[in-house]
Every structure is written in C-alpha cells, then in structure tokens.
Chains A and B, each alone.
Chain A
C-alpha cells in the first residue's frame, strides 16, 4: 500500500481569552490509498480539529507547533499542507484532493441556492469544465448515491429534501471532484438508524468504487466496526490507542478504550450492567499532568501515571497503545 497522507507530531493549540488551549497533542498517523480510518473519541477529544487541520481549515487563532507536519502525496509529488498559504494554493487540499462531509447536512447547504447550483459551483471552481459538463456530472453523481429522479432533485433546495436525502446529496457533492481523501465528520450522527444503515452501505460501496482514503470521525464504535479498516482512539487531543479495527475492538489495550466498549449498551446481553467511565472529561483549561486519562482511569498504577506522559508502545507491529501498563518491554 502507498501512503496517501502522513500526519506527524501534529500539535494544535488555540489562543483564547483564558489562555492557550491544547486541542490536539502530538498526533501522528498515516492513511493509505483505499484505507478507511476511524477516529473515535468523546466531545472535546480533538477529532474535528485534527480533521480540519488536514485541509488547513482551523480558525485564525489556531497555533500549530513547529514540529507539526502534514504531507499529502499527490500525482505531482508530496505537498506540505501546513506550509500552504494563499487561497490559490490551498485549493489543492480544499475540495481538490480532499473533500469533507459534515454532520449537519442542513447547515452545510446554502438554503437559498439550489442543490444543483451549489454542486456546479464547486465543480467549476476546481476544474476548467463547462457549466453544461458540470451539470451532467452533478446529476450523474446524485444518481450514483441513490437519489431517485436526480434531474428534478438537482433544481431543488436543501429544505425540500429529507435528512437522509440531504446527506446523500452532500456525499455526492463531496465526491464529484474525485477527491483522494474524504473526511467524514460524524456523517450519520444526525440520521435515524435505518437511514444510517443505508448511508454506511453507500459509503462502503463508494470506497470500493473510487478507491479513496477515508477518515471516518464518530463517537459510535458500532459504526466504526462496520466501516473502518483501522481505528485511532483519541482522548483529550492525544491518540491513546491505534490499530486494526478487529484488534482494537476485540482486544483493547488502553483502559479508556476498554471503558468505552464497556459503556456501550449491548443487545446480546440485556442483564449486563451499564458501566460508565467514571468521572467527567476535564475542562481543556485544566489539562491533567502525566497521562491525560489518569483522572478517570480505573487501572491507575501510581505516581508514574500522574507525572509521566506515557509513550506509544507497539503491542504488535500494527497495534500501538500509550499507557504505562504497557510500557515495560516484555523480556
């Protein structure tokens, strides 16, 4: 497999009135062509900020550390995303090689412009095709994502479409520029389960067909199990565990991943008690020292967790975890 995008030592802080707030802390990962990576974590774990950084979309008060590096491999050689400055250069990543689907399809479409005009507009921005050609491609994409009567939908407004339909249109729009990487930020969270199942199926088909890389951001481990090849679990801006989806779900190593799995209500065993992860997520202004999870960790070893940041340990060649329980190298 060839790497599509490489993220190294990404650290992002935001300047706020109350001081610097760390949102992403020393995050590294690689996505290959045709690979689906799930990014799981609670609100405040920095999932969306990480994803936005890939398109250099974070607000002006974001501060990237000097070691942060995002390398996108395109046909014309590698591109350092964080070094791009002008809007012209950024077009390569924004909507060109990378597209994004957001959680709220209603908020992502302009309400007073037809779906079709919005699709045509972005196609014309990113290529030199004629308006006629852009329209043809848009209608074809709407058809591809399973929207019935695409020619009619093309001239409708977002409010005329149902929730599931809007999310499909959003996907059609994101894919029409033939991106290499698709970022899906909680694409099914606002949908009903039956519609969620349809959208998940659709996305799986599209990966196969277009062979693109996908970052699937969600807090739903079930959705991850159904879609992703590998998964990274984030807590307070750090990746605490990363590995193939089967490994992480069946054999979780980090107490936080174990806690998340235990907190999920399971249909197979209705008698199992629901065990929450104890305590609340600390405020980003009061970042715990040492291991960021130590304030809620049920398996805390002692002072080492409170004072020393655990480094990533490979539990096997593809599965790594950042926890002091696993830092001792087996003899």
Chain B
C-alpha cells in the first residue's frame, strides 16, 4: 500500500561560489542524499542552520538546480524525472508541488487583498476560466483554512501571525497540490498559535491526502507531527527513521545530541544533558571523513579518514555512522 511519492538517489546540489586562482570552487549544500518520501506521509527533515535542509526541500520542488544524482516524482498520474523536468511538464509540476514559507510577514504582498493573494496562483496557472469559478475555489480553500468571507476583503496587515500563516497555507493549497514543502512554517509563530497551525497542517494532510515535507529545527515539533524523520548534517543525511523509533533509540550521536540540547521544562533537571561542543563547520571548508567527527564525543581514528555510508539495516532505521552498532545501547539510554 505504501507508495513512494518522491524518490531521490545520490542527490546533490552544489553552488558555485567566488572564483579563485584555480577556477571556481563548489559549495556542496546537499551531498549525495538518498531519500524516499511515502505518499500521504508527513515527512520531517531536521538539522541546524547550514545543514542543507532548506536546499534539499527546494531541490525537490525544482526551485534550485539538481547538480548530481537523481530525483523522481510519481503520483499515480504522472512520473517526472526532476533533474530534467522542463517546459509544460515543469509547469504541471508547479501545480502539484507547493511551498509554504517560514515568515508569514514577508511572504504576503501588503498591497493585495487576501482574496487576491489566494487567487493569484489560479490566475497565473490558468486553472480557472471565469471570475466566478475563481471566487468559488478561493472561498472553498479559505473555509478549509478557517478564514471567513470577511477576512478575504482585508489586507494582510490586519492579521496576526497565525492568521497570516493560514493565508499562506490557503495560497499553497489553492492549485490542488499533492506535495507540499513546509519550510520552518511554525518557527516564527508564538507557542499558543503554533499548535493551531500544526493541527491545521495535519488535518489538511488527512483530509486532502497531501504529502508533506516538513522542514524544522525544532525536534519537539517534529516529534509531534511527523510520521518519519530524517536528520541532516552539513549536507549529508545522517539518520532516517520512523518518528517513534528515532526518538526511542537514536542511532547517530548527532541526533542524540540534538535531543539533549532541547531545554527541559523541568527546573530541577538543569545541566544534566550531554552538551555538544563547537559549531557546525563551514560548508566551504568541510572536514574529511565523517562530517560530524569534529564535534562527536565518540569519534575514533576511522571517523577522521573514512566517510560512513548510509546503512540500511532492514528495519527502516537508516544511519550513517561507523560505530552505531556498538553505541546503540549508550545512545538509547
């Protein structure tokens, strides 16, 4: 029953930066990533800033060029090779794959009414023929996102952060997409509103059978919403597993460190967590071997020389670490 909507193999995205004496240097933002996103799932992607999670999301939307490997989109009606996609097929893909941005204050034009903001994709893509048809579609989507008719006549400045994010979601939904990349969609929201938007996204996933790639740096949010989580570090996928499995028994020391860094709500539980030293290295100057060895408390000699491959032990819990088997007990504790 589980079909794969997005399948990427060895996917790489590189950006040319500057030009040195020996020609241009390449910044590898996404580096040989394998990823399978199941149809209808809520797939989480976590990592620190600079880990390449946003670039991966954009590559899957074909918003940045894919420079290596392959990525395929299959939804039962069409089958697209994202690397070579162009022309009318790319236009069609734009209807099927949409993006929700992080900052609802910057993503909405202040000079358009909410109705026009939501209707714009329909008009640009030519999805509706008449104004009546457009209005009907806008009203239908607005209702799904809990916006009323009164809201549609107003301008974005009259809305709070949570309401604006609901407008952004409506705009992303209006073309009837099958796949949505939500890039830090709740990061700019207050805690009391965040839960509301998360619940709305989950409801949309269930009601409209939309597949989500949910990019976030907040592990507790990801834990509550996603079915499957992938962890990225410096452009590499270091771990990927069903959410419960990942949170119960993380296999990569980096994942474990991310958990430990979440500030505990218990005032008596101060400073017991294992803290990670240092910062994520610059992507232009990546360490050899395992990218994480410069900060890893368990690094040994092999980690400095050989880069670990993403292993598929067969239980759906993939990990890229030389020592994951021997560390399993330590990290699960």
A binds B: yes
By a beta-carbon cutoff of 8 Å, the part of chain A in contact with chain B is 42-43, 162-165, 192-198, 200-201, 204, 219-223, 225-226, 245-246, 249, 259-261, 263-267, 270, 272, 274-277, 280-281, 283
The answer to whether A263 touches B195 (Cβ under 8 A) is: yes
The answer to whether A270 touches B199 (Cβ under 8 A) is: no
The answer to whether B49 touches A264 (Cβ under 8 A) is: no
A192 to B223, CA, bound (A): 17
Residues of A within 8 A of B276 (CB): 194, 197-198
Closest to B244 in A: A270
Residues of B within 8 A of A165 (CB): 279
The answer to whether A193 touches B48 (Cβ under 8 A) is: yes
Q: Which of A200, A221, A276 contacts B199 (CB 8 A)?
A: A276
Chosen A-B contacts, 23 in total, with CB atoms closer than 8 Å, are: A164-B279, A193-B217, A194-B48, A194-B275, A194-B276, A195-B48, A196-B263, A197-B260, A201-B275, A204-B271, A219-B191, A221-B191, A225-B263, A225-B264, A226-B264, A226-B267, A249-B265, A270-B223, A274-B224, A276-B193, A276-B194, A280-B162, A283-B158
Residues of B within 8 A of A194 (CB): 48, 257-258, 261, 275-276, 279
By a beta-carbon cutoff of 8 Å, the part of chain B in contact with chain A is 48-49, 158, 160-163, 190-196, 198-199, 217-221, 223-224, 243-244, 247, 257-268, 270-271, 273, 275-277, 279-280
Known: A267-B262, A270-B247. A197 touches B273 (CB 8 A): yes
Closest to A193 in B: B261
Residues of A within 8 A of B160 (CB): 280-281, 283
A204 to B273, CA, bound (A): 15
Residues of B within 8 A of A260 (CB): 191-192
Residues of A within 8 A of B280 (CB): 192
Known: A164-B279, A219-B190. A267 touches B267 (CB 8 A): no
Residues of B within 8 A of A266 (CB): 220, 265
The answer to whether A274 touches B198 (Cβ under 8 A) is: yes
Q: Which of B49, B161, B263, B267 contacts A246 (CB 8 A)?
A: B267
A226 to B262, CA, bound (A): 10
Residues of B within 8 A of A275 (CB): 195
The answer to whether B271 touches A201 (Cβ under 8 A) is: yes
CB distance from A284 to the nearest CB of B (A): 11
CB distance from A281 to the nearest CB of B (A): 6
The answer to whether B48 touches A265 (Cβ under 8 A) is: no
The answer to whether A276 touches B192 (Cβ under 8 A) is: yes
Residues of A within 8 A of B218 (CB): 193, 265
CB distance from B146 to the nearest CB of A (A): 11
Closest to B202 in A: A274
A164 to B224, CA, bound (A): 27
The answer to whether B192 touches A265 (Cβ under 8 A) is: no
The answer to whether A192 touches B263 (Cβ under 8 A) is: no
The answer to whether B199 touches A274 (Cβ under 8 A) is: yes
A225 to B270, CA, bound (A): 8
